[in-house]
Amino acid sequence: MGELLVERDEHVAFITLNRPERLNAITGPMLDALAQALVELDEDREVRAIVLTGAGRGFCAGLDLQDQVSGQGLGQGDGIGTTTAKFNLRDAPPTVLHNLDTPTICALNGGAAGYGMDLALGCDIRLASETAKLSAAFTKRGVLPESGGTWLLPRIVGWSKAAEIMFTGRTLDAAQCKEAGLVSDVVPADSLMQTARDLAHEIAGNAPLAVQATKRMMRMGQDETFEANVHHVFLQLLPLFRTKDFQEGVKSFLEKRKPEFEGR
């Protein structure tokens, strides 16, 4: 059993952070493995949705502070792994996660702190168990959100709420996360993975090229004008009209049946 598990269920892939004895605190090798797994799954035409979760009672306690204390952590020599040791941010998990065209769902099975919180925020959809928590403890540790949090959180909850959470280093329970719009839903712990699985399969049942194009345009829209986004959407629409999936979508609608998309 490795520190990162990758499993598949038809068109859905599941990535599990697997260090439950350390609340899935991230090590250098785990960072490299996570980035590589995300890239490979995004390039796999058979994968239409990715679910990210943690083993045991926590999602991710952040970067492993034992590495930091020993001098082998982020920014301290080469012990954190090849990706972050070289500060190749283009290939680091937060950047890779942000640039995926494949939809991602975070199944928050427990606490997510620091780096773990940023990983959760980087996913498209977050579902939380009743035991889940998001902890923005960066300022309480003398650092700042190093993995996308300063970009993501204000866009998710607005500047004022993001500033309150980040500046105070506050921990939010599942109910507070839903109230703030940080998660889509809160479910009983024993229902979390089934809920995430059902949602992932519902997404995977749609035309994958159209889903990916929609996500790509939403991502680009974060940093461009309305007019530019409308133009880019039109350019994305033209090739979709020529796909077999578009033909199947129209045909299945007229025949009043469930479509069978191929991603072509």
pLDDT given at position 1: 60
Cβ partners under 8 Å of residue 220, min gap 6: 229, 232
Per-residue pLDDT 10s for the chain (264 aa) are 699 999 999 999 999 999 999 999 999 899 999 999 999 999 999 999 999 999 999 999 998 877 555 555 555 544 444 444 444 566 788 899 999 999 999 999 999 999 999 999 999 999 999 999 999 988 888 888 888 999 999 999 999 999 999 999 999 999 999 999 999 999 999 999 999 999 999 999 999 999 999 999 999 999 999 999 999 999 999 999 999 999 999 999 999 999 999 999
pLDDT given at position 80: 41
Residue (of 36, 44, 54, 37) closest to 10 by Cα position: 44
Residue 194, SS3 per DSSP: helix
pLDDT given at position 215: 97
Q: Which domains does the chain have, with CATH numbers?
A: 4-204 (3.90.226.10), 208-254 (1.10.12)
Residue (of 161, 197, 205) closest to 179 by Cα position: 161
Following DSSP, what letter does each residue of 122-184 receive, concatenated?
A: HSSEEEEETT-EEE-TTTTTT---TTTHHHHHHHHH-HHHHHHHHHHT-EEEHHHHHHTTS-S
pLDDT given at position 255: 96
Q: pTM for the whole thing? A: 0.89
pLDDT given at position 88: 56
Burial class of residue 197, CB neighbours in 10 A (0-12, 13-18, 19+): middle
